[in-house]
Chains A and B, each alone.
Chain A
């Protein structure tokens, strides 16, 4: 979590960021104009900007965008929910943790795209296989981060629940989940990124809809400015999603050492 900085430092940080962005743009332009690369591989920012504006008014682009957004969000929702449930179960039950967690860890380290053929057979080449790949991708970081989080909860918090004779559901709702907000937030942010990767990968591989498909089509036409503009939209989508999750899923109150369990 970013710490709060004094206003003078914040303006300085902004200055560095803007400078870095301008330098990058400059380098891009210089590299494109230098002739070192095959013509058109690094189109000028002006061309990309034009393509971007054209895309914004293009209904076909927006239908691709909506498909991708729908895939990411549904995959993310399904994968995160299942990940939270599995993480709680793995963390709360010592035996389940011992038996299953190594398996989950090995699977987590496997690139999920290898499951795409199976998912295609199971769910077809429509949105089903994309959503399931996105869900599968974000399930693992969430469940592992949460299982570790459960084991890190201060035993005293659980003791309070025990003395009040809380039911399992009350303990989960009133103690575990609020105590786990930091790992849940981290898991969601990681998961959103990976769900995006999952959706786009499967769109690029086998699809006739979605931003991944649109980018590949632009590539096939050698319409590099449009491809770049689509990539910018994908970056923005991933970045905004990550930022929103960070803003929404957080503990109330001042963020100090005491809050971190």
Chain B
């Protein structure tokens, strides 16, 4: 890891005008992400996690503050910032391998090169042998891994993942976590993961950022000093549980604030 940050987020805020007035979704968030680092952002629903991710990814550009990738301001989408979403995003008319070659086709890479890279990436996410299957023939977890491989195909400087496994069941999610750890070990991919799953955040991250409920601020940063390489076997360990408990203690206040407000809004 080098000391100069790959991604620098400085005093970023985002307000939305709604019918009921101005809502601050993200409030003065600053964060430096170093090369090769894995960071998770965790927070209750409605804390502005996804808004933050969309700003970093360049999908939202009218915010206050500054977001820089390698010293250059992010002013729109760019393939150097790879995004994986929670929702299904594989193209059903393309096979697994054709899904992975999609960004390389757009970039005009010759066919042999893009196929070679796509084979490697499908192998990396544990899908070799399924190259010629269509997404409809694969499970949700496998489709999500195709989406990850597709995003990695462009060799992004930073990988943004917005609750990529939220739609999957608990067991699949842990095993996919192992896969992400393995990818992380091999590629040293700088990654920012958005999640509301504490175990997932602890299992994967170097640092976990806890966000407050509306307006979304960074409440606390927890350094996860668990040895690498990690795996889901760690989940039972004492140290792991201690981290989970520590994060939950902070998160609990925010989550209950969020719950109260949602219930109050529903009552009116």
Q: Is the interface of A mostly helix, strand, loop or mixed?
A: helix
Q: How far is the CA of A170 from the CA of B87 in the complex (A)?
A: 22
Q: How far is the CA of A221 from the CA of B134 in the complex (A)?
A: 59
Bitwise, B75-94 to A at CB < 8 A (1) or not (0) is: 01111011101011101111
Determine if A162 is an interface residue (Cβ-Cβ < 8 Å): yes
Bitwise, A170-204 to B at CB < 8 A (1) or not (0) is: 10001100110100000000000000000000000
A164-B79 CB under 8 A given contacts A254-B137, A256-B136 = yes
Across-interface contacts of A162 in B (CB, < 8 A): 59, 77
Inter-chain contact B59/A253, CB cutoff 8 Å: no
**Taking each of B57, B78, B82, B106, which has the highest tally of chain A beta carbons within 10 Å of its own beta carbon?**
B106
Q: Which residue of A lies closest to B88 (CB)?
A: A156
Q: How far is the CA of A165 from the CA of B92 in the complex (A)?
A: 21
Inter-chain contact A156/B87, CB cutoff 8 Å: yes
A205 CB, min distance to chain B CBs, angstroms:
42
Q: Which residue of B lies closest to A255 (CB)?
A: B136
Inter-chain contact A251/B93, CB cutoff 8 Å: yes
Inter-chain contact B93/A159, CB cutoff 8 Å: no
Interface size class of A (residues with CB under 8 A): 20 to 34
B51 CB, min distance to chain A CBs, angstroms:
15
Across-interface contacts of B136 in A (CB, < 8 A): 253-254, 256-259
A159-B134 CB under 8 A given contacts A164-B79, A166-B106 = no
Q: Which residue of B lies closest to A177 (CB)?
A: B93
Bitwise, B116-158 to A at CB < 8 A (1) or not (0) is: 0000000000000000001111000000000000000010000
Inter-chain contact A253/B95, CB cutoff 8 Å: yes
Inter-chain contact B106/A163, CB cutoff 8 Å: no
Inter-chain contact A163/B76, CB cutoff 8 Å: no
**Taking each of A159, A160, A174, which has the highest tally of chain B beta carbons within 10 Å of its own beta carbon?**
A160
Inter-chain contact B77/A253, CB cutoff 8 Å: no
Across-interface contacts of A256 in B (CB, < 8 A): 136
Determine if A219 is an interface residue (Cβ-Cβ < 8 Å): no
Name A179's contact: one of B83, B87, B88, B93 (CB within 8 Å): B93
Across-interface contacts of A164 in B (CB, < 8 A): 77, 79, 102-103, 106, 154
Q: How far is the CA of A256 from the CA of B137 in the complex (A)?
A: 9
Name A170's contact: one of B76, B85, B106 (CB within 8 Å): B106
A169 CB, min distance to chain B CBs, angstroms:
11
Q: How far is the CA of A65 from the CA of B212 in the complex (A)?
A: 75
Determine if A222 is an interface residue (Cβ-Cβ < 8 Å): no
Across-interface contacts of B83 in A (CB, < 8 A): 163
Q: How far is the CA of A39 from the CA of B215 in the complex (A)?
A: 88
Across-interface contacts of A159 in B (CB, < 8 A): 59, 85, 89
Q: How far is the CA of A256 from the CA of B95 in the complex (A)?
A: 14
Across-interface contacts of A257 in B (CB, < 8 A): 136
A-B contact count (CB 8 A): 68
Q: How far is the CA of A165 from the CA of B106 in the complex (A)?
A: 9
Name B85's contact: one of A156, A165, A251, A253 (CB within 8 Å): A156
Determine if A95 is an interface residue (Cβ-Cβ < 8 Å): no
Across-interface contacts of B87 in A (CB, < 8 A): 156
Across-interface contacts of A258 in B (CB, < 8 A): 92, 135-136
Bitwise, B91-109 to A at CB < 8 A (1) or not (0) is: 1111100000011011000
Q: How far is the CA of A252 from the CA of B136 in the complex (A)?
A: 11
A165 CB, min distance to chain B CBs, angstroms:
5
Inter-chain contact A252/B89, CB cutoff 8 Å: no
Name B89's contact: one of A160, A166, A251 (CB within 8 Å): A160
Inter-chain contact B137/A156, CB cutoff 8 Å: no
Determine if A157 is an interface residue (Cβ-Cβ < 8 Å): yes
A165-B79 CB under 8 A given contacts A174-B106, A254-B136, A259-B136 = yes
B253 CB, min distance to chain A CBs, angstroms:
33
Across-interface contacts of B106 in A (CB, < 8 A): 164, 166, 170, 174
Q: How far is the CA of A124 from the CA of B131 in the complex (A)?
A: 56
Bitwise, A227-261 to B at CB < 8 A (1) or not (0) is: 00000000000000000000000011110111100
A259-B92 CB under 8 A given contacts A164-B154, A170-B106, A174-B102 = yes
Across-interface contacts of A251 in B (CB, < 8 A): 92-93
Q: How far is the CA of A156 from the CA of B89 in the complex (A)?
A: 6
Across-interface contacts of B58 in A (CB, < 8 A): 163
Across-interface contacts of B57 in A (CB, < 8 A): 163
B147 CB, min distance to chain A CBs, angstroms:
8
Bitwise, B170-195 to A at CB < 8 A (1) or not (0) is: 00000000000000000000000000
Please give the residue numbers on chain A whose beta carbons come within 8 Å of chain B beta carbons, in ascending order. Answer: 154, 156-157, 159-160, 162-166, 170, 174-175, 178-179, 181, 251-254, 256-259
11 contacts between A and B (CB under 8 A): A157-B89, A159-B59, A163-B57, A164-B103, A165-B76, A178-B91, A251-B92, A253-B93, A253-B95, A253-B137, A256-B136
A159-B89, A178-B93 provided; 12 other pairs, C-beta below 8 A?
A: A156-B87, A157-B89, A159-B59, A159-B85, A160-B89, A160-B102, A163-B81, A163-B83, A164-B102, A174-B105, A175-B91, A259-B92
